[in-house]
Amino acid sequence: MSIKWRLATIVGAIATLLVVLGALVAQWRITTAIDQTAKDALRNTAKRVASDLSSPQSELPVARLARQVAASQEIQVTTRSGDLLYTTRAAGARLLMPTTTLQDVRSTLFLPAQPTTHGRIVLAMRAASHSNTVILVATSDDELGHALSELWIVVALAGTLAVVLSVGGAWLLARASLRPVANICAEAESLSLGTLAKRLAVPRTHDEIANLAEVINRFVDRLESMIESQNWFLHALSHELRTPLATVSAELQLAERRSSDPAALSEALGAAQLAAEQLATLYTDLLLFARYRAGSLTLELHEVDLEDLAASALVAAKDRCQDDALSFLLDCPAALSAVVDPTRLRQILDNLLENSIRYASVGIVTLSVRQEGDWIAITVKDQGEGLPENVFNRLARGESGESTDAGGMGFGLAIVKLLVELHHGVIEATNPAEGGACIGVRLPRVQEV
């Protein structure tokens, strides 16, 4: 069952319940009002008859008695033992109340009017305080029955109409309310991998429907970003792995041709191993970029001893460096700590030092770590050939580039930039006047979790 019909059914059930409850309340009010009116009329008649009976006359003529009552009322005057003294023609000769009940009439107080099996409402009253005479006044309850019959006829007609109108109105209202949902479904159905640039039209109603459209649009944004990241990763992977794979293939072919020369074979295998390591590094870097673009790259923050971390990074850089003309210097005070991701900060230091190893063949590479207020300043300075412009932007925006072979910059500094930004820091590269390159990184000393 559709939402429209479910809502219409619920509204119809509620409307039916309200109509029935309203009818029951109306019945109670009408019954109470008619009953009270009838009892008041009976009391007034009984009082007039009691007043006449208290007159000096020894007996009350039937004709005079009949004038005391309305056409719908019946009067009998009887003793407490049930001897009928007077009666109107409408009342007849049969007592309006059982004799056992007459015995309870002990004062001039009224007995509650009682409905009888003959469809009457009967009231009994002592003619005087110590009198043996009882006045019985009765009226038919046909008026009440007619009123209730008319009430239920009105309920049956008007209630049915009200329920039908409620169901129809609920169905129309639900259809109008769900029309934007149908439009959203149609637009969402039209989306495909080739049309993810489209977005759903958001209604200007500022309600749940508009919120649904906004949620779907945000989901499409994330989906588009993930697909773009995947496409970028595949494109970049195919381009960046081209040169290392060609190198591995060429060196292995060379090793095969020089298999009889141990020295040449060792050199070829060493070059192939180096190219394989470059392949692993490129693959790791590309995965890191892909995770960053997909929004799944997060930090695991811990308090880190910066001196130990910088010293271990510098030792690893010395081990990787094969040029004895290049020396390394650490400038970091003891007991300096910060709340950072130690793995990502070590990756920043390794990439900065690797850049200096690759492009500074002689001189000193200085790694400096200092505290400046609420910031940690990291500087790597070398005496190499300097840095080109926009060195951090390579592939940071998803450009595959065609410069792997030209300059061989790789992804190191681009990765440094995104990791620094992930730490809410800033990075700057300069070429000092005295030569070389200087890359400065500033990170907040305490990261926001």
Give pLDDT, residue 366. 93
Q: Of 91-100, 224-233, 253-262, 370-379, give the range with the top mean pLDDT.
A: 370-379
- pLDDT of 399: 42
Residue 441 — pLDDT band, cuts 50, 70, 90?
very high
- Bridge partners of 125? 135
pLDDT tens, position by position, 382-440 = 988 888 766 665 543 334 444 333 333 457 788 888 899 889 999 998 888 888 889 99
Higher-confidence residue of 425 and 68: namely 425
Give the phi and the psi of residue 325 in degrees, each rounded to 5.
Answer: -80, -5
Percent of the chain, pLDDT > 70?
79
In this structure, the number of other CB atoms found within 10 A of the CB of residue 1 comes to 8
Nearest to 340 by CA among 222, 443, 194, 239: 443
pLDDT of residue 243: 65
Alpha-carbon torsion angle 205, 211, 217, 219, nearest 10: -170
Predicted confidence band of residue 114 (pLDDT cuts 50, 70, 90): low
> What confidence tier does 29 reach under pLDDT thresholds 50, 70, 90?
confident
Residue 89 pLDDT > 80: no
For residues 211-224, average pLDDT? 80
> Any residues with CB less than 8 A from the CB of 395 and at least 6 apart, and which?
236, 289, 401, 411, 414
CA distance 11 to 8: 5
Q: What is the mean pLDDT of residues 129-140?
A: 79
What is the overall mean pLDDT for the chain?
77
Q: What is the arithmetic mean of pLDDT over 195-204? A: 71
Overall average pLDDT of the 102-113 stretch: 60
Q: Which domains does the chain have, with CATH numbers?
A: 3-145 (3.30.450.20), 208-291 (1.10.287), 298-444 (3.30.565.10)
∠430-436-442 over CA atoms, to 5°?
A: 40
Lowest mean pLDDT among 147-156, 223-232, 294-303, 324-333: 223-232
Per-residue confidence band for 64, with pLDDT thresholds at 50, 70 and 90: low
Least confident piece of the model among 57-71, 96-110, 117-131, 162-176: 57-71
Band (113; pLDDT cuts 50, 70, 90): low
DSSP letters for 265-320: HHHHHHHHHHHHHHHHHHHHHHHHHHHHHHT------EEEEHHHHHHHHHHHHHHH
